[in-house]
Amino acid sequence: MAEYDLTPREVAPVDTAYRRIRTKLPVPESLPILETLRRTEPRSMSGQPPVVWDRAEGLHVYDRWGNMWLDWSTGVLVANVGHGRREIRDALKAVIDRPLLATYVFVHELRAELMERLLSLAPPKAEYRVFILSTGSEACENAIKLARTYGVHKGGERKHVIVSFENAFHGRTLGSQLAGGMKKLKTWIVKTDCGFVQTPFPDGFKNPNTDFGQFLDTLSGHGLTGEDVAGVITESYQGVGPDFFPDEYAKRLEHWCRENDVMLIADEVQSGFVRTGKMFWYQHYGIEPDLICCGKGITSSLPLSAVIGRADIMDLYPPGSMTSTHSGSPLPVAAALANLEIIEREKLVENAAALGGPLGEGLADIQRKHPEHIGMVQARGLVAGMQMVKPGTKEPDPQAALAINVACFERGLLMFAPVGVAGECVKIAPPLITTADALQDGLVALDEACGAVLS
């Protein structure tokens, strides 16, 4: 995990239309707050650039001491329609003033409205239902449970295996982590042999083999066939890259799932709600998942997640047996409705799709300046990444990624800590309301940061 130095450093002042830095960083006056958190929270909660947010609006994050960052984190891919949107605040205020703060599993009108709205986004061919929860991990847990329930229901106990991908991330709870593909995150589970199998992800860089045959080979290597498999869960793009499926692979995967009555689970927690320039990732491939996990950008603010799933699978559990205390809590529901309205009204699908080109080109230009250090750049819609390598190799270079992240922070460009198998990926995820001009300003800061660190 990234460790950020809390010693304040003199940094050059920055003043552009989008970024403003006027103090030492971290700001000396912010240290008591950061230190209180380091003392009171587990270490695991540190590890992000040392900025104390005072407010966040649109594309910008502000502290109390006059600094303004251009945000390329979207608060870890949450505030898709921009930070602190008035429409979302107004929708929340209306619910607060009614007042209607908690309903537990009792119903309210906005919940019905949201269900209709989310269902209108489901793939067209089958009948779907929506189950709302609070976190992305819960949505993945629920999809795994539903797939296994369906598998055992259709094929007996044999049909229980969940196949997922190496380096995948599906959350931090037991089931979601068993499905995850990072071994180092699973050492605490010790006994992982309970029907979860991982196959290499066809990213074309870390794994040059992009043929679907590798998926089949993994299964046969474990002595499995489609009759053993209940579901395949995949992050739509792998967060660590971001890495994308080759078209052909995605299509063959869907076909194999259909042939074997295996549930195809799209974990759209990160990619859903327009991150890649489409509402959902699977729309790039013309495939239709059976279960879709949503979270993060579904509200651009409060915690809410959802599983959108085929009705015959979702209805396997009788009344009262698949619920959660905060399912459909009025405030997150109101936020989700306002968020979806903004996505549509402001044509954010079109905006994110249009900016994918310039973002990819800008990164390719930077890579051309540092070909020894930047092993791979990827961009689609408004998600991108630069995978840093030890010069001339494919070996991950987390130190370079961290140094670039810090250099960007000091130039007023905020990104969350590097991700990746070893922390080697500088990940870029601006809010979807980013303009071409703001994107170029961010690319200038990134270019300068790379120049300072890598030259």
Judged by the rule CB under 6 A, the positions of this chain that interact with ligand PLP are 135-137, 140, 169-171, 235, 239, 267, 269-270, 295
Q: Which of 300, 239, 281, 277 is nearest to 382 (CA)?
A: 277
Q: How far is the CB of 138 from ligand PLP (least distance, A)?
A: 7
Q: How far is the CB of 15 from ligand PLP (least distance, A)?
A: 33
Distances (CA, A) of 409 to 80, 356, 358, 404: 20, 23, 22, 8
Nearer to ligand PLP, 269 or 445 (CB): 269
Nearer to ligand PLP, 162 or 269 (CB): 269
CA distance 341 to 231: 33
Q: How far is the CB of 429 from ligand PLP (least distance, A)?
A: 11
Nearer to ligand PLP, 30 or 270 (CB): 270
CA distance 372 to 207: 19
Q: How far is the CB of 90 from ligand PLP (least distance, A)?
A: 25
Q: How far is the CB of 454 from ligand PLP (least distance, A)?
A: 28
**Distance from the first to the final alpha carbon of the chain:** 25
Residue whose beta carbon is closest to ligand PLP: 136
Backbone angles phi, psi at 221, to 5 degrees: -60, -30
CA distance 404 to 393: 19
Q: How far is the CB of 267 from ligand PLP (least distance, A)?
A: 5
Residue 185 CB neighbour total at 10 angstroms:
12
**3-state DSSP call for residue 181?**
coil
- Long-range pairs for 391-398: beta carbons < 8 A, 24 or more residues apart: 394/205, 394/206, 396/420, 396/421, 396/422, 396/423, 396/424, 397/373, 397/424, 398/2, 398/422, 398/423, 398/424
Backbone angles phi, psi at 390, to 5 degrees: -65, 140
Question: Ramachandran region of residue 381, left (φ > 0), alpha (ψ -120 to 50) or beta?
Answer: left
Nearer to ligand PLP, 88 or 266 (CB): 266
Which two three-digit tokens encode residue 344?
A: 């549509």
CA distance 43 to 187: 18
Nearer to ligand PLP, 175 or 239 (CB): 239
Q: Output the DSSP codes for 340-382.
A: HHHHHHTTHHHHHHHHHHHHHHHHHHHHHH-TTTEEEEEEETT
Nearer to ligand PLP, 250 or 269 (CB): 269
Which two three-digit tokens encode residue 43?
A: 């270490």
Q: How far is the CB of 42 from ligand PLP (least distance, A)?
A: 16
Nearer to ligand PLP, 71 or 441 (CB): 71
Q: How far is the CB of 17 from ligand PLP (least distance, A)?
A: 31
Nearer to ligand PLP, 122 or 429 (CB): 429
Q: How far is the CB of 135 from ligand PLP (least distance, A)?
A: 4
CA distance 238 to 270: 9
Residue count (the chain) = 455
Nearer to ligand PLP, 299 or 351 (CB): 299
